[in-house]
Structure 1
Amino acid sequence: MYDTSTRKRALALVAQGRSLNSVSKETGISRAAIRSWQTRIEPLPRMRQTSCSLCGPTADPPEDRAAYSYLLGLYLGDGCISPGMRSGYFLRIACANAWPGLINACATAIEAVNPSGKAYRVRAVGYTSVVGYSGHWPCFFPQHGPGKKHDRRIVLAPWQQAIVNAHPWDFIRGLVHSDGCRITNWTTRLVGGERKRYEYPRYLFTNTSTDIVSLFTTALDRVGVEWKSLNQSRTAVTISVARKASVALMDAHVGPKY
């Protein structure tokens, strides 16, 4: 959330004749947010950030830190936070209905992290939103803000980074479960004059936010997984894990969605 002075500074740059794109790149604020401020500069009352009555100006890390590390990965991929009644917020994680095990794992993580211990499911066409209600979600996920994640900076708070460092595989699993997959590639080779088919598994992770991709690859480096970035024409970045030893590590700690 941006205060009024930050909004005024961004609009002052626009008033100088700067494009929304250039102001966005300089300030890290999404173009959509800057554009909306041109018609309303004051934050909506229900979206103003204030110190949490329990956490104060900064959050105390959740007790179940492994569950939080996994949930953080899910949130960065397919999650959002929106204001609810009074001072509460909804955390929603969208999970494809094709993976009921993922839906269950997401609900378990939200229940472990949510101070109320509750999560519920909202079914839609092709997916299920796993939802938790709490006044603490902006404390637990300071990356929350207006606009799309790839239009703003995504940087972990020091306490979040400490949790990810301590539980890197949970974080990696959350990111793969949200924006990744395990697939089987195949190729053919001539062996003794006979063409044979060979299959090999690999993991792929795709995200448009270079910050989130960097968090993913940094975690892979920490656990010794080799990876490479695929060349693509689209703006999203795809990370591939294909070497046999690294795939074995991923299988041991992440595995396919189910």
Structure 2
Amino acid sequence: MKFHGTDVRQKALTLLRGGARNADVGRTLGIPAGTVAYWRHRDPAERGACPGRHAPPCPRCDGRELDGAAYAYLLGLHLGDGHIIRYSGHRVPSLMITCAEEWPGLMDECEAALRAVFPDNSVCRVRKQSCRNVKVYSNHLPCVFPQHGPGRKHERRIALEPWQRQIVDTHPWEFVRGLVHSDGCRNINWTTRLVGGVRKRYEYPRYWFTNVSDDIRRLYTDTLDRLGVEWKECTRYGRPYNISVARRESVALMDAHIGPKY
């Protein structure tokens, strides 16, 4: 690795403070553009100024206004397919919502919700096999999503804070929609009946919600109760696992506010 003297660095900083571009400074002084970019980044910090813009305000710590509808939807996505992680070497944790490639509309809605809840933070999509992680970086993620913690969600208690409960009570359909978009679906079931001695096939729509966490399923069903949606709990291997909404009136209500994934 080649080290550059302080005099070369000072010449570079003088040019940068005068408005020169990284590439132009690099060509003038024979320095890699990456080195010039690093010096540009470090210069404000070493002078006691913030390197770059100030940290985005937090709706919990700083009282910034929070988009309640977008947050309720994003909370549902987070409880289903989201997790907060801090990679080794990264100073800032990231929230990742995993979205399947076959639902591009859902991916767009997820990104829009992230941008609404974190308007001053960058949002990106990271391609994975058959899916994409929609991501945002923020030091305040644990403030905004206090359900984050070590271990799997179904192995620890999941409960809403009073301020989250107030948002969900105000925007219940957005919360349900986020849960269904993460761990739910709308499909067509069928059954047969004897009519006049002839067995006929009948098809009907149904909403499913599947989550191993008893607490998350309860958050879902409690919200359905408040919305007047009838539901039924189904088991797998003798344990509660699925929540079914199949009554015609309730399916129509869900269709009016949620609908199929797209």
Q: How does 1:69-148 map to 2 (within 5 A)?
A: 69-83=72-86, 87-148=91-152
Preserved CA contact (<8 Å) 1:182 1:201: yes
Provide TM-score, normalisation by structure 1.
Answer: 0.75
- Distance in 1 (CA, whole Å) between partners of 2:65 and 2:128 is 29
- Distance in 2 (CA, whole Å) between partners of 1:60 and 1:150 is 31
Alignment equivalent of 2:194, drawn from 190, 208, 218: 190
Q: Report the 3-state secondary structure (helix = DSSP H, G, I; strand = E; otherwise coil) of the residue aligned with 2:236.
A: coil
- Distance in 2 (CA, whole Å) between partners of 1:53 and 1:99 is 30
Alignment equivalent of 2:258, drawn from 236, 254, 258: 254
- Distance in 1 (CA, whole Å) between partners of 2:120 and 2:66 is 13
Q: Which residue of 1 aligns with 2:233?
A: 229
Matched-pair identity in %? 58
Preserved CA contact (<8 Å) 1:209 1:236: no
- Distance in 2 (CA, whole Å) between partners of 1:92 and 1:138 is 13
Describe the superposition over 1:203-226 as per-residue Cα deviations: whole angstroms up to 9, x where unpaired.
111111111111000110111101
Residue 56 of structure 1: how far off its partner (Å): 9.6
Q: Report the 3-state secondary structure (helix = DSSP H, G, I; strand = E; otherwise coil) of the residue aligned with 1:98.
A: coil
Residue 206 in 1 paired to residue 210 in 2?
Answer: yes
Q: Which runs of 5+ in 2 are unaligned?
A: 1-54
Q: 1:56 to 1:112 in 2, by over 3 A?
A: closer
Provide TM-score, normalisation by structure 2.
Answer: 0.74
Residue 188 of structure 1: how far off its partner (Å): 1.8
Letter in 2 for 1:163: I
Residue 194 of structure 1: how far off its partner (Å): 2.9
Structure of greater Rg: 2
Q: Report the 3-state secondary structure (helix = DSSP H, G, I; strand = E; otherwise coil) of the residue aligned with 1:185.
A: strand
- Distance in 2 (CA, whole Å) between partners of 1:253 and 1:64 is 19
- May I ask how many residue pairs the two structures share in their alignment? 207
Q: How does 1:214-225 map to 2 (within 5 A)?
A: 214-225=218-229
Report runs of 4+ in structure 1 exceeding 3 Å deviation. 52-62, 84-87
The CA RMSD measured in Å over matched residues stands at: 2.1
Q: Report the 3-state secondary structure (helix = DSSP H, G, I; strand = E; otherwise coil) of the residue aligned with 1:198.
A: strand
Residue 229 of structure 1: how far off its partner (Å): 0.5
- Distance in 2 (CA, whole Å) between partners of 1:64 and 1:97 is 27
- Distance in 1 (CA, whole Å) between partners of 2:158 and 2:182 is 16
- Distance in 2 (CA, whole Å) between partners of 1:240 and 1:66 is 25
Q: Which residue of 1 aligns with 2:178?
A: 174
Letter in 1 for 2:100: A
Preserved CA contact (<8 Å) 2:57 2:64: no
Letter in 1 for 2:75: L
Letter in 2 for 1:101: G
Preserved CA contact (<8 Å) 1:138 1:144: yes
Letter in 2 for 1:242: A
